Amino acid sequence: MTYTGRCACNKVTLAITGEPIGVRQCWCRQCQQIASGGPTHNAMFKAEDVDIAGELASAHWTAASGNTLSFTFCPACGTQIYAQSSARLHIKTMRLGAIDEPHGLKPQVIIWTDDAPDWAVFDPALERFPKQPPAPVPKD
């Protein structure tokens, strides 16, 4: 399957081939900061399956896991495009908001629940991890 996407101002476009390795909702503190207090919603794809056109900017910091996280976004409108961990450069964690609807992607697990605020609501049907779960294994 192919997914397409774009930032809010259409200066960054993306095309993704293949299926996601996993789809997660993340409540880590960094994700809450970039998502205005809520979680981020992310689909992980093999980096080689992601083609991005347009100018990008990025920010980097050390996560609670000890890995360096890079958050990539459109410098014109600020739309988050993807994140990438120094421990998993073979994976690009694409923001669901940058992928065109209807994409049919929805979280399969919730991660970093220990960092979620008291008012957070978790889907009881989804598996939860208090911190970072094991890395998903890409399908061949």
Tell me, what CATH number does 53's domain have? 2.170.150.70
39 inside domain: yes
94 inside domain: yes
87 inside domain: yes
Number of domains in the chain: 1
| Per-residue confidence (pLDDT) for residue 137, from 0 to 100 | 65
Contact 58, 74 (CB under 8 A): no
Q: How far apart are CA 60 and CA 93, in angstroms?
A: 14
Q: How far apart are CA 42 and CA 13, in angstroms?
A: 17
> Which of 30-34, 112-116, 122-126, 135-139 is the least confident region?
135-139
Q: What is the pLDDT of residues 117-136, one digit of tens each?
A: 999 999 999 999 999 887 76
Q: Percent of the chain scored above 70 by pLDDT?
A: 96
Contact 107, 23 (CB under 8 A): yes
Give the structural domain span for 58.
Answer: 2-128
Inform me whether the pLDDT recorded for 19 exceeds 90.
Answer: yes
pLDDT level of residue 41 (50, 70, 90 thresholds): very high
Pairing of strands 109-111, 127-128: parallel
Q: How far apart are CA 107 and CA 25, in angstroms?
A: 6
DSSP 137: P
Q: What is the pLDDT of residues 70-101, one digit of tens each?
A: 999 999 999 999 999 998 999 999 999 999 99
pLDDT level of residue 116 (50, 70, 90 thresholds): very high
Asked whether the bond before 107 is cis by omega within 30 degrees of 0, the reply is no
* Nearest CA among 33, 42, 139 for reference residue 85: 42
* Nearest CA among 5, 8, 16, 15 for reference residue 75: 8
Inform me whether the pLDDT recorded for 138 exceeds 70.
Answer: no
Is pTM beyond 0.85 here?
Answer: yes
